[in-house]
Structure 1
């Protein structure tokens, strides 16, 4: 009889050179993000080419709403990832599984509720965005079908974040690749009704995304159990999927401010979309195409921030909090080099990229190129802010990043726009991006340099030990969040 496969162990991120570990861990995460962005871009190409500019503007409006929905529960996943990383760093496998189970159960329940409410509220949301009349019915159809995909998409995100907290960035990358291949393949088939598939128009694009998401989630779950990866739940551990008060205390306490950060970003995006829509369909289409390219510029910083957060969380759990500054420096250097290179590449070949979405003869192409020139480089600056937030998040700091984002995205960005709209015209809107990013990074640096949060990070292990000594017989470690 063949002996059972030994259970896979979480990968330690606390050993070896910091820069090398950060890069190796960031690459699969960056690959996952790039694949996801590529997926959205290819789908937008299909929509724009097969259905026209109004349909492309519709998907841009609908996608902003979807980002808002994801933000509402995404913070809980980030909070759980931090606590799981600390537990893995301390060698507490059961605690990590308890946290993962509670986070997964909570996110799926919330996602199901949001999907139902979103279906009903979709028209009101699009009216709030001042969606152009030509695009409104298309956006409504697209958005309502996409809402069906939310529970599966959130479960996939939570599973991927949990695996990364365990030091495994490869598995999420593999199954993101599967999802992208399926989505890209289904899109033209369902939009145009090729072969045995029905012709569904813009609803087909949304349905393709939903089908790809659920199929790849099922395949990933099978893979996790077949490989016996660290976060699999078996037997009595399946009860961890019922949210428990102890884990909920941390996930809600930290996750709400983290989710609020995402909500700030998405609400700022909604405000900008509303301002752009008031400039007319041409500006809406140009901005929608620009957003597709900007997703690529954001990806390096998001991947590096996630890697830095996972590394710092494991370092804190292992009692190596002095390693945090090394992780932060490495993250900033890699972000500036990589995001800077991607920005230069984008600005060099922007026309070739933009015509993929708008067509070579679209009057929106020159305006989209102008937007790129004025605003794209701001993502280099904003990436530094995101990396700083990543390491601070690992130490439980959630309020300072929230305040920084609130100031950078609203008083700074909108204040710049309204103050200079009369003299700069439409350009005030595009230049408000770099101005807001500059304000945010200066405030983030000031917050990071404060020493108080490092002392709290060093106290996490003693505090957890004290909680364990008072526990009610459970083996899982606990610690009270400091908000």
Structure 2
């Protein structure tokens, strides 16, 4: 069967941009949803509640990373198999990822509910924000399995070359979440007054409704990742596919965990500067979500497009895909940085009052740190390309070095001389080091000879076992 959206033919730049823009739209909607919710929380409940949601969201990103790598590995497998025109193998990979992700996410959600107080205490969450953060976090944990499955389905669709369907269902989720937030926070009309827990409950409801809608849509439209009839058994992972997804997914998930734990360490350092700085950092993070959106969208497009082309043996297109990705990142992320810096004050006052002590701190943070996302975006493109052929350890090692010895180390060592500015300058320093290592590995590393092969097992997978992605079409020299 021919892929629903063939990313192995046509003009590379135009195809990449056409794929990336709906993904960017999805990212914008997702970030807008978070910002709107933060506005409701900040306006209704104050700076302490805003700092509480910031602390809780960092923890959720940490939990998310524990299972996200499986989804990333499955997406690459789906893309490579669609490049080979092997739809059944793509469905097997997707089904295995569904089974793994749901199982792990359910366990993490249960553990997170139980140990949420201890986690928040480890973060040095300010005392005023602690009970608010706990109420918010526990409800969010309840929705983790549905959130992960929603993200996995969107990633799977993008692996087939479809970036429009995820956009529509992200829009549904955003409308529901942002609409329910004020109703459940303030108890408007027939809704109960739940305070900060109402914000989390709105997210939980929106995710479950949107997930159900997406599942029904995929089946009614018979989209490539649909599983029905005998294919339902694909959700029970085979040993061969489980081994490949876990072997490649764990390092990619570990990258998310490394980023999350570094963010947690930074939150701990920021919290020690007081509630105003913590609130300012929370506002800065809201703006950073928008700045990094083009990089994330372009990285997702590069990964899906490179995976399909590698699966099809079109190595002649992979280098050009990377080049266009770097160019688009420079232009789009650069524009985002300029817009945010120019219009930071009116945007920030959406989250905190104009007379808030957090406002000048947040503006200062933006001037020092926001430009580092241009560098981050270039790194994202290079890592997305090498991951598309299963190279996952080098990006993990690069992140470990740049985030801990470099970023956190600089923030700690330079703090006696630079004060809180050491925290903000550590961001561009870490990003520059990561880009240098990514560029060296892309140019000189052995990622082109990598493999996402699935070994045969006794369950009869011989007909669906995958060969080395590049096969005989890999370049020589």
TM-score range relative to shorter protein: over 0.9
1:473 CA displacement: 5.9
Q: Which residue of 2 aligns with 1:245?
A: 239
Q: Which residue of 2 aligns with 1:148?
A: 142
Q: Aligned pair in 2 of structure 1 residues 122, 468: CA closer, same or farther (>3 Å)?
A: closer
1:354 aligns with 2:342: no
CA distance in 2, matches of 1:473, 1:280: 57
1:383 aligns with 2:371: no
Number of residue pairs matched by the alignment: 470
1:476 aligns with 2:476: no
1:421 CA displacement: 1.2
Per-residue CA distance 1:188-238 (angstroms, 9 max, x = gap): 000000110000000000000000000000011111111110111111100
TM-score, scaled relative to structure 1: 0.95
1:423 CA displacement: 1.4
Q: Which residue of 1 aligns with 2:316?
A: 322
1:337 CA displacement: 0.5
CA distance in 1, matches of 2:83, 2:4: 9
1:415 CA displacement: 2.2
Q: Which residue of 2 aligns with 1:37?
A: 31
1:469 CA displacement: 12
Q: Which residue of 1 aligns with 2:211?
A: 217
1:456 CA displacement: 3.3
CA distance in 2, matches of 1:314, 1:241: 23
Equivalent position to 1:58, from 20, 36, 52: 52
CA distance in 2, matches of 1:333, 1:470: 47
Per-residue CA distance 1:235-269 (angstroms, 9 max, x = gap): 11000011211111110000000000001111110
Equivalent position to 1:168, from 157, 162, 166: 162
1:420 CA displacement: 1.7
Alignment of 1:47-196 (within 5 A): 47-196=41-190
CA distance in 2, matches of 1:269, 1:162: 27
Contact 2:8 2:308 in 1 (8 A): yes
SS at match of 1:204: helix
User: Runs in 1 of length 4+ with deviation above 2 angstroms?
Assistant: 7-10, 467-475, 477-482
SS at match of 2:463: coil
CA distance in 2, matches of 1:418, 1:127: 20
Per-residue CA distance 1:94-140 (angstroms, 9 max, x = gap): 00000000001110111111111100010011001000000000000
Q: Aligned pair in 2 of structure 1 residues 107, 480: CA closer, same or farther (>3 Å)?
A: farther
Q: Which residue of 1 aligns with 2:297?
A: 303
CA distance in 2, matches of 1:31, 1:277: 32
Contact 2:80 2:469 in 1 (8 A): no
Q: Which residue of 1 aligns with 2:405?
A: 411
1:164 CA displacement: 0.4
CA distance in 2, matches of 1:46, 1:358: 11
Equivalent position to 1:28, from 22, 25, 29: 22
SS at match of 2:223: coil
Q: Aligned pair in 2 of structure 1 residues 127, 313: CA closer, same or farther (>3 Å)?
A: same
1:234 aligns with 2:228: yes
TM-score, scaled relative to structure 2: 0.96
Q: Which residue of 1 aligns with 2:335?
A: 341
Q: Aligned pair in 2 of structure 1 residues 147, 441: CA closer, same or farther (>3 Å)?
A: same
Equivalent position to 1:374, from 332, 344, 368: 368
CA distance in 2, matches of 1:428, 1:302: 26
CA distance in 2, matches of 1:80, 1:178: 25
Q: Aligned pair in 2 of structure 1 residues 226, 276: CA closer, same or farther (>3 Å)?
A: same
Q: Aligned pair in 2 of structure 1 residues 451, 277: CA closer, same or farther (>3 Å)?
A: closer
1:261 aligns with 2:245: no
Alignment of 1:199-210 (within 5 A): 199-210=193-204
Per-residue CA distance 1:278-315 (angstroms, 9 max, x = gap): 00101100000100110111111111111101111000
Per-residue CA distance 1:59-87 (angstroms, 9 max, x = gap): 00000000000000000000000011110
Contact 1:8 1:227 in 2 (8 A): no
Contact 1:10 1:88 in 2 (8 A): no
Alignment of 1:403-442 (within 5 A): 403-442=397-436
Q: Aligned pair in 2 of structure 1 residues 53, 215: CA closer, same or farther (>3 Å)?
A: same
Q: Which residue of 2 aligns with 1:3?
A: none
SS at match of 2:128: coil
SS at match of 1:356: coil
Contact 1:94 1:475 in 2 (8 A): no
SS at match of 2:349: helix
1:418 CA displacement: 2.3
SS at match of 1:39: helix
Q: Aligned pair in 2 of structure 1 residues 469, 106: CA closer, same or farther (>3 Å)?
A: closer
Contact 1:85 1:166 in 2 (8 A): yes
CA distance in 2, matches of 1:470, 1:89: 26
Q: Aligned pair in 2 of structure 1 residues 52, 436: CA closer, same or farther (>3 Å)?
A: same
Equivalent position to 1:17, from 11, 28, 31: 11
What is the root-mean-square deviation in Å for CA atoms of aligned residues? Answer: 1.7
Contact 1:179 1:212 in 2 (8 A): yes
Q: Aligned pair in 2 of structure 1 residues 164, 423: CA closer, same or farther (>3 Å)?
A: same
